[in-house]
Structure 1
Amino acid sequence: MFLIWIIGGAVSAGGTPEGCRGLTGDDLELCEDARTVGTTIGVGFVVAFWVATDFILALTYLIYRLTSRQSRG
């Protein structure tokens, strides 16, 4: 799910943004660069959310395994 989210976000950033239409030269380059930076930040947030989710799931599994372990006697 996260991989699809990342790919979808990265693909949607292709092409010239609607807000940049009609701009030329440095203005167009600045507008496109701003969109690239925004896409990078968005993908970074998705990756961070992915890592946080994996960490929480791993911690939950570890706690479950430790509590369900039978005592050896």
Structure 2
Amino acid sequence: MQPPYQGSTAPPPRKRRRVFLWVFLAVQILFLAWVIAGAASGSGTPDECRGLTGNDLEVCEDAGDVGTTIGVGLIIGLWVAVDFILALTYLIYRLASRRPRD
């Protein structure tokens, strides 16, 4: 703990705000919810498969499962790309705002 402000010319240091951390966590929660919702949307028998039987029903359900897998994979790929862009932006910000060496 630092001693209280005692008349020196320098003001006490400001508390650092962690805005980027909260933005990053919010993005992670949004993508996680999107992945869960996307995966859950593929459960059950699709409307297009109703009335089919036997091999036709199995092929139709498998096609729906493949579509769900591709969709979730695309969401995860977008998630990775957004995280990479956020990390690169944060790195550039940190490098630009660092104190110069004396």
- Give the structure 1 partner of residue 53 of structure 2: 24
TM-score, reference length from structure 1: 0.96
Instruction: For residue 68 of structure 1, report the CA deviation from its aligned partner.
Output: 0.8
Residues 1:57 and 2:86 are matched in the alignment: yes
Runs of 4+ in 1 over 2 A off after TM superposition: none
Question: C-alpha distance in 2, partners of 1:50/1:35?
Answer: 23
AA aligned opposite 1:3: L
* Greater C-alpha Rg: 2
The structure richer in helix per residue is: 1
AA aligned opposite 1:43: V
Instruction: Name which of 73, 76, 83 aligns with 1:47.
Output: 76
CA RMSD of aligned residues (A): 0.6
Instruction: Give ranges in structure 1 of 5+ residues lacking alignment.
Output: none
Residues 1:14 and 2:37 are matched in the alignment: no
User: Looking at both structures, which has the greater relative contact order when contacts are Cα pairs under 8 Å and sequence separation is at least 6?
Assistant: 1
Question: C-alpha distance in 2, partners of 1:12/1:60?
Answer: 33
Instruction: Give ranges in structure 2 of 5+ residues lacking alignment.
Output: 1-29
Secondary structure, in 3 states, of the residue corresponding to 1:22?
coil
- Give the structure 2 partner of residue 66 of structure 1: 95
How high is the sequence identity, in percent, across the aligned residues?
68
The alignment covers a number of residue pairs equal to 73
